[in-house]
Amino acid sequence: MSDPTPVVIVGAGPVGLALACELARRAVPVRILDKLSVPTAESRAAVVHARTLEAFSRIGVVDEIVAAGQRTTGLQMYADRVSLGKFDLGTVDSPYPFPVTLPQDETERILTARLATLGVTVERERELAGLEQDASGVRAHLKSGEEIRSDWIVGTDGSHSTVRGALGLRLEAPSKERRSCWATSKPTTSWTARRCTRSSRATPAR
């Protein structure tokens, strides 16, 4: 068996990819695994906030992220066509005093490309099934039957994390049942508050 990799990251979402970039640019050998054969095509975490932009600056992707997304300087909320108020989002004390709206799949694409320039490729169709740890390190057991030894394993494998489960940890977060509807679409007409109110009222809840 070959020498252990210092760090194995499980999950190539935005968190895992950003960590892999940070480690790789500091010359820490790292592998990053994901169970999916292709990246997500969903918008999901679509707002990148100022602090994350600062972290992206260190990784060297902030200009591309800002250029690809939409600077969001304010928010206006409505209910039943009545304005609930306007919020100024451009006042944060940061070199990037604005959130950027960018679909998660775009953020992942940019981080994956940056990671490739650092010499690391996401290893796809590699699903973690379980792990064991002792004083010498960690053994990751993949669903395929493969075993990977490492000094550290990092769980960035989302809300149903296999790593967290293997460690016997629970996600401490409010889990109120809620009904919602979620869609990714391209508007075919100009986007107005009135249309927004109409479409949200017309959307059936799950």
Ligand X SMILES: Cc1cc2nc3c(=O)[nH]c(=O)nc-3n(C[C@H](O)[C@H](O)[C@H](O)COP(=O)(O)OP(=O)(O)OC[C@H]3O[C@@H](n4cnc5c(N)ncnc54)[C@H](O)[C@@H]3O)c2cc1C
Interface residue list for ligand X (CB under 6 A) = 10-16, 33-36, 44-47, 104, 127-128, 156-158, 162, 182
82/12 Cα distance (integer angstroms): 41
* Amino acid in the structure at residue 33: L
Longest dimension (CA), the chain: 66
What is the nearest approach in angstroms of ligand X to the Cβ of residue 51? 14
Contact 19/9 with Cβ under 8 angstroms? yes
> Nearest to ligand X by Cβ — which residue?
13
What is the nearest approach in angstroms of ligand X to the Cβ of residue 136? 23
What is the nearest approach in angstroms of ligand X to the Cβ of residue 83? 22
22/59 Cα distance (integer angstroms): 6
Nearer to ligand X, 16 or 69 (CB): 16
Nearer to ligand X, 82 or 173 (CB): 173
53/66 Cα distance (integer angstroms): 8
Nearer to ligand X, 182 or 191 (CB): 182
Nearer to ligand X, 11 or 69 (CB): 11
47/184 Cα distance (integer angstroms): 14
- What residue has token string 């020498």? 3
What is the nearest approach in angstroms of ligand X to the Cβ of residue 19? 9
